[in-house]
Amino acid sequence: MTSAVAETPAAPQGDAAPGLSGVSPGAMLWRRLRRKRLALVSMVVIAIVYGAGILAPVLAPYSYAEQNLERTLEGPSSDYWLGTDRLGRDMLSRTLYSARTTLILTVAVVLSGSVVLGVGLGLLSGYRGGWVDGAIMRVGDIFGSVPGLPMLILINATTRPRVDELARWVEEHTILSNELTTTGGASYFTVAVALSLFAWVGMARVIRAQVLQLRERDFVLAAQATGATGARVIGRHLLPNIAFLIILSVSAGLGAIAGSEIVLTWFGVGVQPPAASFGQMIFAGSGARTFQAHPHLLLVPAVVVTALMFAFNLLGDALNDAMRGQ
């Protein structure tokens, strides 16, 4: 049972019997996770990609949009470590900035979709119960039953022009001159909102189920009996107990969010040029003939994206296994 792969089934492990050792579930989970080497490696990979995204402006040797038409489609060289694309832009810099796009969007969607919408609605649903619960869960059912990808493409295709207009209007009527449109900010916003719309359902269901359990527990009942307000019960007693669950679900969902952005951009409805995205890089390298002639166009983003997805998947699996031990 000591395989290198973090696939050990969640066999009961003596020292971590829940509730006995007095450790919080989160700490326990962390301990269990730490024992899985591959999960740790995954976290390191994710940290590297995200770190590259954060530090992109510092690390990148060129700007992501800087073109050199004299040196297009070159392979790796000392000037351009990962080669150049069709416009003579540095592939390394574009990769770093694509990581930044991934970072920005996953964080934005996790915060707005999973945490604010998902946790908020999950808590509300589980704690209030009754028709509120029913309504939220039915809405969740509807979101869960529409085909996600076509809907995301449709939403992005039709709303982006409107968001663009909005951004322009905001720029004209505030002190902003063209910060929103130059950075592609409007397209980031559209993608983030669209993804958030679909990201909250799973989280809300998990939180609701947990809250339903906790609601019957002694300490919550006691708090309610002493006349604590709903907000206080949620803030003091419920949230700390589901915090680990939130972290868990968020980590498990990151991969899907990052993948969705890449795919939407690949279809041409995601992040807009000149902003860099793995989706664009992959699209530019697609085509069997292109791949034959200039393999680095596809390989560079492909390696990074695959490594990232691999890490997200392994982490998700490891977390799921660790949860099964609960």
Partner 1 sequence: MAVYIVRRLIWLPFILLVVSFATFSIARFGPGDPLAVAAGQFRDPEILAQVRAERGLDGSVLEQYGRWLSAALRGDFGESFLQQGFSVSELIFPKMWISAQLGLIALVIVFALGIPLGLLASRLSGTWIDPFIISTLLFLRAIPVIVLIPPLLWLFALQLNLLPVGGWGGLFDIWWLGGVVAIPIPDPHLYLPLMAMSIGGFGGVARLVRITALEVQGEDYIRTARAKGLPESVISGRHVLPNSLLPVVTVIGFALTSIIEGAFFVEVLLGIPGIGRFTFEAVVSRDYDVILAMTVITSAVFVLMNLLVEISYTFIDPRIRLGASAAT
Partner 2 sequence: MGGQYRLLGILLAVLAVLVLVVGGLSAALLIGGGEETGGNGGTTTSSPSEAGPDASEGGETVEAASGRLRLPGIDPITLDPHLVTDTGSAQYVAEIFSGLTTISPDLELALDLAESFDISEDGRVYTFTLRPDALFHNGRRVTAADVAWSIDRALDPETSSLVALSYLGDIVGARERRLGRSETLEGMRVVDERTIEFTLDAPKPFFLWKLTYPTAWVVDSQQVEANPRNWTRNPNGTGPYQLKEWRLGERIVLEASDRYYEGTPSVKEVLFELSGGSTLTRFENGELDVAGIGVNDLERAQDPSSDLGPLYSNSVEMSISYLAFNTEAPPFDDVNVRRAFAMAIDRAKVAETVFMNAWLPATGIIPPRVPGYTAEDKTYTFDPEGARAALAASSYGSPEGLPPITLTEMGGGASASIDTQAFLEQWREELGVEVQVRQTDRATLTADLDDGRLQIFVDGWSMDYPDPESVIDLKFHSTSPLNDVRYQNTAVDALIEAARVEQDPERRLQLYRDAEQILIDEAAWVPLYFPLAHVVVAPRVEGWFAPPLIMPRLRFVTVTE
**Using CB under 8 A as the criterion, which residues of the chain lie in contact with partner 2 when the complex forms?**
65-67, 69-70, 72, 86-88, 157, 161, 164, 168, 171, 177-178, 181-182, 265-268, 270, 272-274, 277, 279-280, 283-284, 287-290, 293
Sign of CA dihedral 92, 75, 255, 324: negative
Nearer to partner 1, 17 or 146 (CB): 146
Contacting positions for partner 1 (CB under 8 A): 1, 3-5, 7, 9, 11, 137-138, 141-142, 144-151, 153-155, 157-159, 161-162, 209, 212, 259, 262-263, 266-267, 282-283, 285-292, 298, 301-302, 305-307, 309-310, 312-314, 317
Q: What is the DSSP letter of 90?
A: B
Nearer to partner 2, 112 or 280 (CB): 280
CA 206 distance to own-chain centroid = 17
From the list partner 1, partner 2, none, which binds 21 (C-beta under 5 to 8 Å, kind-based)? none
The length of the chain, given as a count of residues: 326
From the list partner 2, partner 1, none, which binds 293 (C-beta under 5 to 8 Å, kind-based)? partner 2
From the list partner 1, partner 2, none, which binds 67 (C-beta under 5 to 8 Å, kind-based)? partner 2
What tokens were used for 30? Answer: 């962390």
Q: How far, in Å, are 23, 100, 252, 262, 284 from residue 302 at the CA level?
A: 41, 16, 21, 11, 12
Q: How far, in Å, are 236, 274, 297 from residue 165 at the CA level?
A: 43, 18, 33
Nearer to partner 1, 5 or 47 (CB): 5
Omega before 18 within 30 of 0, i.e. cis: no
Q: What is the DSSP letter of 16?
A: G
Please state, in angstroms and rounded to a whole number, the distance separating the CA atoms of residues 5 and 251.
19
From the list partner 2, partner 1, none, which binds 9 (C-beta under 5 to 8 Å, kind-based)? partner 1
